[in-house]
């Protein structure tokens, strides 16, 4: 168990190193110059050179990377090239919003997909299953901006039940906060619901075909007990892993939803930073999102060991 945790930790460190190098290289290769973004396109070459010197951009990329990396090790992610604000402070303001959205979306997705997956996996081929199957196909095939506009139109514009755009922070009251968070969270959740339901359905079908389910049924146990106690647990392992991956994806991939609904989260910050070539901010964001992603998955792997007794005793090496 200890070796497993240590191994997982080493894994996290290696992944983060690779991610930070990759993000640096990528920004280096992308054309554009933060100096022009700040000074405007009509800037004189002298002014640009002066700004480059001030920002350290006249030095080679590897030097800048090492300097930045040294800072990161001390907890200093540098300052935004665009606003001069410390990167950690800027992220600290935006991150809670995105995290709340991701958690909310994941909760909605699980609450809806668990019963849907169990039921359709049990009643395969029945009308409800066919309908769900068609619906999930449509959902998976539709791009997120379409879902967003669709939900926004029907739930906000038409009925007025929810605000069409905007955000209220938690300190303005939970109810108001949730009312604003609901539509973007639901939009994020919709795709996850479809994917989760399909995954759980197919795993339920596999498990329900197992000999031990037939055997448990022959004990005369009620169907509810068979489905929820005997079948759901073994069928939910891959869903559990997938929801960890989803959470990471929701953190980094909420860009479009945040833009459409005007949510001041990480996604908006990311777009602004990319537009202005604020590479210090982008590196900080990428590293942070990668960190959260990798840590969540490491935690899931470890928790998994507690969930599945077979993995626990066989001591799987990772």
Using CB under 8 A as the binding rule, whether residue 304 contacts another protein is answered as no
**DSSP of the chain:** -HHHHHHHHHHHHHHHHHHHHHHHHHHHHS---HHHHHH-TT--HHHHHHHHHHHTTTS-HHHHHHHHHHHHHTT---B-TTT--BHHHHHHHHHHHHHHHHHHHHHHHHHHHHHHHHHHHHSTTSHHHHHHHHHHHHHHHS-HHHHHHHHIIIIIIIT-SS-SS----GGG-HHHHHHHHHHHHHHHHHHHHHHHHHHHHHHHHHHHTSHHHHHHHTTT--HHHIIIIIIHHHHTHHHHHHHHHHHHHHHHS-HHHHHHHT--SHHHHHHHHHHTT-HHHHHHHHHHHHHHHHHHHHHHHHHHHHH-HHHHHHT---
Using CB under 8 A as the binding rule, whether residue 233 contacts another protein is answered as yes
Using CB under 8 A as the binding rule, whether residue 221 contacts another protein is answered as yes
Using CB under 8 A as the binding rule, whether residue 229 contacts another protein is answered as yes
Angstrom distance (rounded) from CA 25 to CA 65? 10
Beta carbon nearer to another protein, 120 or 147: 120
Using CB under 8 A as the binding rule, whether residue 220 contacts another protein is answered as yes
Among 146, 153, 225, 299, binds another protein (CB under 8 A): 225
Among 29, 138, 218, 317, binds another protein (CB under 8 A): 218
Using CB under 8 A as the binding rule, whether residue 310 contacts another protein is answered as yes
Residue 126 Cβ vs another protein, minimum distance, rounded to whole Å: 10
Beta carbon nearer to another protein, 292 or 300: 300
Beta carbon nearer to another protein, 150 or 212: 212
Beta carbon nearer to another protein, 73 or 218: 218
Among 2, 74, 158, 219, binds another protein (CB under 8 A): 219
Residue 261 Cβ vs another protein, minimum distance, rounded to whole Å: 40
Q: How many residues of this chain interact with another protein, rule: CB under 8 A?
A: 24
Residues in region 155-214 near another protein by CB under 8 A: 210-214
Using CB under 8 A as the binding rule, whether residue 234 contacts another protein is answered as yes
Among 133, 217, 241, 272, binds another protein (CB under 8 A): 217
Binding site for another protein (CB under 8 A): 210-222, 225, 229-230, 233-234, 307-310, 313-314
């Amino acid at each position: 168990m200890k070796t497993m945790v240590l191994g997982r930790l080493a894994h996290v460190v290696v992944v983060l190193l690779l991610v930070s190098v990759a993000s640096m290289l990528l920004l280096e290769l992308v054309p554009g110059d933060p100096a022009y973004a700040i000074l405007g396109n009509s800037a004189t070459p002298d002014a640009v050179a002066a700004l480059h010197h001030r920002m350290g951009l006249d030095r080679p990329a590897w030097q800048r990377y090492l300097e930045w990396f040294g800072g990161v090790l001390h907890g200093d992610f540098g300052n935004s090239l665009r606003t001069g604000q410390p990167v950690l402070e800027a992220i600290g303001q935006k991150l809670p919003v995105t995290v709340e959205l991701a958690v909310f979306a994941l909760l909605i997705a699980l609450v809806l997909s668990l019963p849907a997956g169990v039921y359709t996996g049990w009643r395969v081929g029945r009308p409800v299953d066919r309908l769900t199957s068609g619906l999930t196909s449509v959902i998976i095939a539709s791009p997120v901006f379409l879902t967003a506009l669709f939900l926004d139109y029907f739930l906000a514009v038409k009925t007025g039940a929810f605000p069409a755009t905007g955000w209220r922070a938690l300190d303005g009251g939970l109810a108001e906060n949730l009312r604003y968070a609901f539509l973007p969270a639901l939009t994020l959740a919709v795709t996850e619901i479809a994917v989760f339901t399909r995954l759980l359905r197919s795993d339920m079908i596999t498990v329900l075909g197992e000999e031990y389910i037939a055997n448990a049924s022959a004990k005369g146990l009620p169907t509810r007990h068979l489905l929820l106690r005997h079948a759901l647990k073994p069928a939910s392992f891959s869903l559990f892993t997938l929801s960890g991956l989803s959470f990471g994806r929701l953190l980094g991939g909420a860009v479009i939803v945040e833009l459409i609904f005007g949510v001041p989260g990480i996604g908006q910050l990311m777009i602004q930073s990319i537009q202005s070539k604020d590479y210090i901010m982008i590196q900080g964001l990428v590293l942070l999102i990668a960190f959260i992603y990798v840590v969540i998955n490491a935690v899931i792997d470890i928790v998994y060991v507690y969930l599945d007794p077979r993995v626990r005793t066989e001591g799987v090496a990772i």
